[in-house]
Amino acid sequence: MHVRDAVSSRYSCRAFLPTPIPEQTVRDIVERATRAPSAGNMQPWRIYAIAGERVEALKALLAPRMNELPKAEGGDYRIYPDPMEEPYRTRRFAVGELLYKSIGVAREDKPARYRQYARNFQFFGAPVGLFFAVERAHGVAQWADIGGYLQTVMLLARGYGLHTCPQQAWVSWHRTVRSFLDLPPELMIYSGMALGLADESAAINSWRSPREPLASWAAFSGF
Ligand SMILES: Cc1cc2nc3c(=O)[nH]c(=O)nc-3n(C[C@H](O)[C@H](O)[C@H](O)COP(=O)(O)O)c2cc1C
């Protein structure tokens, strides 16, 4: 697959087939992704990959807790700026509208929206879950490096015919995830990720998020 096709065919997949993914494939993807650059070649990424019984165990652990604690465990870090200013607010709103419209859920229908959001914690049916951890002591440059690593994983997955959904939603259950993964105290969860074969027939996978026109965010000179 050409890298251009890997980039253009990646999207946040929110319905997967249960087809298992061989361990070697997942190992290949996360290992090859270490060709991602990092400041000073620090390679600050830390990966926890789970599949099979481990995925089922995490889902089973979380399901009752989600009823007990609908607001989850709070974040280990702030994902969004507060307040979120324009134009970001409108962009975020727009993508939510597209997502819920694709499955026929009205904005006012909070229970149905929550049910869809809760699918995050089933990895959207994916057979593999990845967790990306970062050292608490590390700063924005290392977080950015891990972001680049994440994207490299997602593009490599396309090369294996697989799809992904990065999932910061897991941060809201950071205590449960931390104890489940036996994370050492110096690490924190940056993001989760669902990985597997896309369910191409699912309505939730039928739309694509928009992007702003180049002229609104890029400047070129001297060409
Ligand atoms: C680090 C990161 C975390 C994300 N977390 C979630 C998440 O928890 N759940 C979800 O459904 N989408 C999540 N997304 C997906 C974004 O909503 C998505 O990337 C954005 O709307 C653009 O759409 P696209 O990925 O389909 O191009 C996340 C994306 C990133 C980069």
- The H-or-E segment that residue 214 falls in is none
Classify residue 46: in a domain, yes or no.
yes
Average pLDDT over residues 211-221: 97
Between CA 76 and CA 174 the distance in angstroms is 6
Q: Whose CA is nearest to atom 19 of ligand 1?
A: 12
Cα(2) to ligand 1 centroid in Å equals: 23
What is the pLDDT, as a whole number, of residue 75? 85
Average pLDDT over residues 188-193: 98
Average pLDDT over residues 189-208: 98
Residue 173: which of 49, 61, 83 has the closest Cα?
61
Average pLDDT over residues 95-122: 95
What is the pLDDT, as a whole number, of residue 215? 96
Cα(135) to ligand 1 centroid in Å equals: 22
The response to whether residue 205 sits with its C-beta less than 6 Å from ligand 1 reads: no
Classify residue 217: in a domain, yes or no.
no
Classify residue 185: in a domain, yes or no.
yes
Classify residue 223: in a domain, yes or no.
no
Q: How far is CA 115 from the centre of its chain?
A: 18
Average pLDDT over residues 156-175: 97
Q: 42-46, 75-79, 176-180, 213-217: which has the minimum mean pLDDT? A: 75-79
Cα(43) to ligand 1 centroid in Å equals: 23
Between CA 215 and CA 213 the distance in angstroms is 6
Q: Is the peptide bond before 87 cis (omega within 30 degrees of 0)?
A: yes
What is the pLDDT, as a whole number, of residue 67? 83
Q: Whose CA is nearest to atom 23 of ligand 1?
A: 209
Report how many domains make up the chain.
1
The pLDDT of residue 70 is above 80: no
Instruction: Say which residue the tokens 């049910």 belong to.
Output: 115
Classify residue 125: in a domain, yes or no.
yes
Full domain range(s) for residue 156? 3-79+121-210
Classify residue 163: in a domain, yes or no.
yes
Tens of pLDDT, residues 30-48: 999 999 999 999 999 999 9
Q: Whose CA is nearest to atom 30 of ligand 1?
A: 166
The fraction of the chain above a pLDDT of 70, given in percent, is: 100
Q: Is the pTM of this model over 0.75?
A: yes
Q: Whose CA is nearest to atom 18 of ligand 1?
A: 12
CATH number, position 125: 3.40.109.10
Average pLDDT over residues 118-147: 97
What is the pLDDT, as a whole number, of residue 192? 98
Q: Is the peptide bond before 44 cis (omega within 30 degrees of 0)?
A: no
